[in-house]
Amino acid sequence: MKIAILSRDQTLYSTKSLVAACKRRGHEVRVIDYLRCHMNITSRRPTIYLGDEELTGYDAIIPRIGATHTFFGCAVVRQFEMMGVYPANESVAISRSRDKLRSLQLLAREGIGLPVTGFAHDPRATSHLVNLVGGAPLVIKLLEGTQGVGVVLAETRQAAESVIEAFRGLNANILAQEFIKEAGGADIRCFVIGDRVVASMKRQAKEGDFRSNLHRGGVASVVKITPEERATAVRAANVIGLNVAGVDLLRSNHGPVVMEVNSSPGLEGIETATGKDVAGMIIEFLEKNAVKGKTKTRGQG
Cα separation, 299 vs 301, whole angstroms: 7
Per-residue pLDDT of the chain (301 residues; tens, 9 = 90+): 999 999 999 999 999 999 999 999 999 999 999 999 999 998 889 999 999 999 999 999 999 999 899 999 999 999 999 999 999 999 999 999 999 899 999 999 999 999 999 998 777 788 888 999 988 899 998 876 555 567 888 999 999 988 888 888 788 888 899 999 888 888 999 999 999 999 999 988 776 555 555 555 578 889 999 999 999 999 999 999 999 999 999 999 989 999 999 999 999 999 999 999 999 999 999 999 998 877 766 444 4
Q: What HEC string does 88-149 produce?
A: CCCHHHHHHHHCHHHHHHHHHHCCCCCCCEECCCCHHHHHHHHHHCCCCCEEEEECCCCCCC
Domains and CATH numbers, the chain: 2-93 (3.40.50.20), 97-113+182-277 (3.30.470.20), 117-179 (3.30.1490.20)
Distance from the first to the final alpha carbon of the chain: 28
Helix residue spans in 3-42 (DSSP H)? 13-24
Cα separation, 68 vs 72, whole angstroms: 9
Cα separation, 232 vs 56, whole angstroms: 38
296, 300, 293, 294: which is closest to 84 by C-alpha?
293
Angle between helices 91-98 and 227-240 (to 10 degrees): 110
Cα separation, 268 vs 277, whole angstroms: 10
Please report the pLDDT score of residue 276 as a whole number.
97
Angle subtended at Cα 227 by Cα 221 and Cα 229, rounded to the nearest 5 degrees: 60
User: Where are the strands (E) in the chain, listed by range?
Assistant: 2-6, 28-32, 37-40, 47-50, 53-54, 60-63, 86-87, 117-118, 138-142, 151-154, 174-178, 186-193, 196-204, 219-222, 244-252, 255-262
| pTM of this prediction exceeds 0.85 | yes
Cα separation, 233 vs 89, whole angstroms: 16
Beta-strand relationship, 86-87 and 117-118: unpaired
Please report the pLDDT score of residue 298 as a whole number.
47
Please report the pLDDT score of residue 147 as a whole number.
54
If phi > 0 it is left, if psi is from -120 to 50 it is alpha, else beta; for residue 194 that is: left
If phi > 0 it is left, if psi is from -120 to 50 it is alpha, else beta; for residue 44 that is: left
82, 18, 81, 17: which is closest to 45 by C-alpha?
82
Please report the pLDDT score of residue 301 as a whole number.
45
**137: cis peptide before it, omega within 30°?**
yes
